[in-house]
Structure 1
Amino acid sequence: MVSVDSIQDLAELLQRLKARTGRSYDALARRANLSRSSVHRYCSGAAVPADFESLSRLARACGANREELLELHRRWALASAAPRETPATSTTDTPTAAGPPAATGGSLAATGTLVAAPAPAEEPASGDEAAEAAAPSARRMPRRYLVIALTLAFVGTMTTAAFAAKHWSREDGARGPSATRSAADGRLLFTPACADVVSMGQHDECVREVQRLLSQAGTTIGVDASFGPETLRRVTAFQVLADLPTKGVVDDATKEALYAGRVSLKTWSPAQVERRVREVFHEEPDLAVRIARCQSYLDPHWITPNTNGTRNWGVFQLADVVLDRYQGTPRMAFDPEWNIRTAHRLWADKQGFSNWPACLKAALPT
């Protein structure tokens, strides 16, 4: 299960890269065009940047090679999805040199949050950082709220659904129709032992039952009773393939579909995905495979939430806007053949891999 430990794993790799350079935080900050406080927060695990570009610059300042950049991206993706126990805000790097950091855009805008923690006492915040903290602009505020929402793993509807179910129970003196079924039919999720909505952050036998049913449907998932980002991805993928609203929470409709057993989550193995990527991207097979692995670990059902509320889907993490452009849907994006061919169309239209900037940078030789 992805947890806050993922943030420490990311920080540990950054500390290792920093240590071998022998350079101070100040020296690395200048070389990476970041503030010293940002470098310290990333290396200590107090912050995870909202995009990979900042970490890419820092790693390159430490002399990271291509394999290390890919591993750093993997750890950043997991840390971005890790749940926080404290209120979180977006982190924006303030460079020490003139000019803003390079924009990244593309389809890798995964969530990034800052766990509330003060900067090192010996280093006051820069003028720009202090101004941002004291008076966030109107343009920053919506992004802050969006990042907070994504820290809850894009399940904003969960609260409304849970409130409605509980309110209905109070009014009618009973749970919903499906929830009135007893344990006699062997469906644990519909017993009083389980909440009306099973969702992110829970750790109990009800989550284990959800994971067991997802595994039974054909997906690869850890059955550990903890509802973390992996379970969230699999639940969302199941809802897409079951033609249910993609809430990312297990409500009565999702429970019914899970027990019905009519939805298959079986898909291609990573080896099959790699082989097909090489066939379709015959012009640049090695680079295409590295980018696909960086994007999704070659998992056809991989899903990444973006800070603007959209999602990226499948092997090449095609964004909602890309699906619209090529007349696709999330269900179609889960088909690895369609996803790979559409990514190749996008590659041809863009005359390169510019639609995947972070992974392109990590995949190219240093």
Structure 2
Amino acid sequence: MPSEWSVVERFAKACGATREELLELQQAWSRAYAARDLLRSPARDGAAAKDGTAARDDAPARDDAAARDDAAARDGEQGDESRSDPSDASAASAAKTRLPLAGVGGRWSWLLRFASGIAVLSAILWAFDATQPRTKVSSPAEPAVSGSGQRVGVNLLSEHCPVVMAYGEKDACVVELQRLLNRAGAGLEVDGDFGPLTRMRVEVFQIRAGLRNTGLVDEETKRALYAGKARLTTWPRERVVRRIHEVFAEDPDRAVAVANCQSNLDPLHVEVNPSGIRNWGLFQIYGGYTLAELGGTPERALDPEWNIQAAHRLWAKTRDFRAWQCGRAVMPYSPSPG
């Protein structure tokens, strides 16, 4: 049994335990830990040690007695075979089977305590698990390919897809998700891989559909996708570059280079910070105090015109790009030939 609650807690959180379930599990772990301490009490260990010492001290005497008994048995076997009782032989065999365990108290008591602790914890965890409501989990849908070589998806609301789809999933359900996002204008490669770009487009769709932007595809998001509740169209790259040049007339090439470094000139780019706060759009406007200071919202920050104008207001405070992570590192943007 783990000797630290933190180990059990991390495992439970990884399995999706709620706060109430964590509290209940902690109480169960505490009881199991107390039972283990009881098994480790000094009185039991001392008694076991004494038993083991006594067993070892008496071993020579038992060996001498066993030798005399064996000699007497051999002498009696020649004349008393007719008087031998099968039940006596069975009893002797059982005694010989039990003899090796007579002196294990001191040497093997830790193993007995360990096995007891594991049994107690297993029983508690089994009882805890038995009280939890069961959610049906369908097996993941395997990616399928049609005769023309195109990937085939499955209905997101069917039993073949998870109730909630998330980043990292790779199956036919993701193929269908990407197909639906592309129908809304996402421009994704349909590869069945729920990667970073697919997650970004899911969040943008959720925002524009009036849903909570989690990046998780729950039932509400699935139904909104099938109903076509939002569009994901935005400016093409050439228009983005042209507009940045117009707004940042003071330093147009460096402005484009910063935006290219921050978002690859993608107006719908969304990055998640370690704190969980998002950066939004072309210039990756910080979704915390910066967005609030500029009077924006996530939906407004995904509008390329608003994002470029807001970035220029930030730039005008210092007339440089120090507010951006890429600001001092990038070289002026040079479009690739062709």
TM-score interval for Structure 1 and Structure 2 normalised by the shorter chain: 0.5 to 0.7
How far 1:242 sits from its partner (Å)? 1.3
* Structure 1 contact 199–250 (Cα < 8 Å) conserved: yes
SS of residue matched to 2:326: helix
Contact kept? 1:302, 1:314, Cα under 8 Å: yes
Aligned counterpart, 2:299? 331
- Is 1:275 the equivalent of 2:242? yes
CA distance in 1, matches of 2:257, 2:166: 33
Larger Rg: 2
Aligned counterpart, 1:361: 329
Q: Aligned pair 1:217/2:184, yes or no? A: yes
State the 1:338 CA deviation: 0.3
2:220 corresponds to which residue? Answer: 253
How many Å separate the matches in 2 of 1:330 and 1:348? Answer: 22
For 1:264, the equivalent position in structure 2 comes to 231
- In 1, distance between residues paired with 2:241 and 2:235? 10
> Where does residue 351 of structure 1 map in the other structure?
319
Q: Which residue pairs with 1:318 in the alignment?
A: 285
Quick check: 1:341 aligned with 2:305? no
**Offset of residue 160 of structure 1:** 7.4
Residue 363 of structure 1: how far off its partner (Å): 2.4
- Cα pair distance change 1:173/1:237, threshold 3 Å: closer
Contact kept in structure 1, 2:154 and 2:173, CA below 8 Å:
no
Q: What's 1:74 paired with?
A: none
Assess if the C-alpha contact under 8 Å between 2:154 and 2:176 holds in 1.
Answer: no
- Give CA-to-partner distance per residue, 1:167-188, whole Å, 9 cap, x none: 9xx858879xxxxxxxxxx970
Residue matched to 1:133: none
| 2:158 paired residue among 175, 179, 191 | 191
Query: Is the aligned partner of 1:202 residue 2:169?
Result: yes
- 1:17-96 equivalences in 2 (<5 Å): none
Match for residue 286 of structure 1 among 247, 253, 261: 253
Match of 2:94 in 1: none
**Which of the pair is proportionally richer in helix?**
2
Letter in 2 for 1:189: L
Q: State the distance in 1 between where 2:14 and 2:184 align.
A: 25
Kindly provide the amino acid, as one letter, of the partner of residue 324 in structure 2.
W
Q: Number of matched residues?
A: 194
Conserved in 1, the CA contact under 8 Å of 2:254 and 2:330? no
Moved over 4 A (4+): 156-161, 170-175
Corresponding letter in the other structure for 1:214: L
Instruction: State how far apart, in whole Å, the 2-side matches of 1:187 and 1:259 are.
Output: 12
Q: Report sequence identity in percent.
A: 44
Q: Which amino acid aligns with 1:279?
A: E
Q: Distance in 2 between matches of 1:335 and 1:157?
A: 37
Cα distance, 1:350 vs. partner?
Answer: 2.6
TM-score (norm 1): 0.49
Q: CA deviation at 1:357?
A: 3.6
Cα deviation digits, residues 310-348 of structure 1 (max 9, x gap): 111000000012111111011000000000000001111
- State the secondary structure of the residue aligned to 1:190: coil
Please name the residue that 1:297 is paired with.
Answer: 264
Q: Give the counterpart of 1:238 among 194, 198, 205.
A: 205
CA apart distance, 1:189: 0.6
Q: Which runs of 5+ in 2 are unaligned?
A: 1-12, 22-128, 138-152, 334-338
Instruction: Calculate the TM-score normalised by the size of structure 2.
Output: 0.53
CA 1:160–1:313: 2 relative to 1, 3 Å? farther
